[in-house]
Structure 1
Amino acid sequence: MAGLEGIEQARRPGSPAAPRWTPTVEDERALETMESHGNPVDAEVVLDSAPGAAATARRLAEIVVVAEWGLSPHLAECTALLVSELFGNAVEHTGARAVGLRMHRRPGRIRVEVRDPSRSLPCMMPAFEMEVVSGYGLLLVEKLSDRWGADLLPIGKKTWFEIRVSDR
């Protein structure tokens, strides 16, 4: 977790190396979130579907993209938005008591997976069936990611999206 070490180093006064990401109040909350829930890069993080859980999933996604992988804050915001949509769908449409979050970095792309206990596959609603305030989640995932889909598991499913990133 090189990015997190950089954050820890930035907390020390007189630290010679300045990381790309400077801690703020939100960053401190994100660090606390990762410390209490785990890192979705190392293993699936399972979050209860309680109020605030989607915000926790977003924070985890943001800290991984920026601090762990050293990618742009803009990409972190996009990833967090899509995580929020998939997490929200898992809770709202499946009645899941807990939802899993896992993140992978591969050459040229990142992949984010949200696991829930339902084997019902997600589907985009036709535009004319969408409500004024809801129904746009998968449309956002479709438009903002490069690929997305769902894989059935022996118990439940894993809904995922991928975003291309440049490897420098």
Structure 2
Amino acid sequence: MMGGMAGLEGMEQPRPRSDPAAARWDIPGADRNPAPAPCGPASAALDLVGDPTIGEVRLPSRPQSAGTARRLTASVLLRQWSLTPQLAEHAVLLVSELVGNAVRHTGARTFGLRMLRRRGWIRIEVRDPSRGLPCLMPVQEMDTSGRGLFLVDKLSDRWGVDLLPRGKTTWFEMRVTDR
């Protein structure tokens, strides 16, 4: 779904982590490729803040956290899941946009990052305490800002927002080729 407000029709209610539907996204061993131990700055980010494939990683709501989120995304997609560099590059860009929105527009002290994989798909979520919905704005060629959700809409296969009792989760999904 790439036209309009993809993913916003019929927003889902939050599901506890033990919910069977949530479990489809994180089947231990089913879609994860065991990867060699990562090294370098991306690995350091995993060691410092945690693994967003195991549970939500909380990051401070500061511009510098976008870099941490990008390094985590690259590490997971390239090293843990062995996905293509182009897919990882697109996902890193989209994570940066969602994190930027959470930092700039929510007034939160922290936000959460989570990455899920199931056969043929990845899903990346950014959770914040604001219930304000993001808005997909029309984009003009010369615009220097406001392109974040436009990029999410164009580069992801699906995206949306799940309202929570206290906040929201903004997410995107991308198709992947399982090897």
Q: How many residues align?
A: 147
Q: 1:20 aligns to what?
A: none
- Where is the helix percentage greater, Structure 1 or Structure 2? 1
Unaligned runs of 5+ in 1: 9-26
Superposition deviation, residue 30 in structure 1: 0.7
Equivalence for 2:128: 116
Distance in 1 between residues matched to 2:152 and 2:101, nearest whole Å: 11
Pairing partner for 1:140 from 128, 146, 151: 151
Q: Which residue matches 2:77?
A: 65
Give the Cα separation in 2 of the matches to 1:2 and 1:163.
Answer: 20
Task: Look up the match of 2:47.
Answer: 35
> Where does structure 2 lack aligned partners over 5 or more consecutive residues?
1-32
Calculate the TM-score normalised by the size of structure 1: 0.83
Aligned to 1:84: 96
Residue 100 (structure 1) aligns with: 112
Report the counterpart of residue 54 of structure 1 in structure 2: 66
Cα RMSD after superposing both structures: 1.6
Query: Quick one: which amino acid aligns to residue 63 of structure 1?
Result: S
Please, what TM-score do these two structures have when normalized by structure 2? Answer: 0.78
Q: CA deviation at 1:131?
A: 7.5
Deviation at 1:29, TM superposition (A): 0.7
Query: 1:102 & 1:48 partners in 2: Cα distance?
Result: 15
1:2 aligns with 2:8: no
Per-residue Cα deviation, 1:84-105 (whole angstroms, up to 9, x for no partner): 0000001111112111000000
Note the C-alpha offset of 1:42.
0.3
SS, match of residue 145 in structure 2: coil
Report the secondary structure of 1:51's partner residue: coil
Please give the alpha-carbon distance, in whole angstroms, between the structure 1 residues aligned to 2:139 and 2:60: 31
Give per-residue Cα distances to partners, 1:98-130, cap 9 Å, x unaligned.
1100000011110000000000111111236x9
Larger radius of gyration: 1
Structure 1 residue 156 and structure 2 residue 167: aligned?
yes
Shift >4 Å, 4+ stretches: none
> Following the alignment from structure 2 to structure 1, what is the Cα–Cα distance between the partners of residues 158 and 142?
25
What is the rounded CA distance, in whole Å, between the counterparts of 1:105 and 1:80 in structure 2? 16
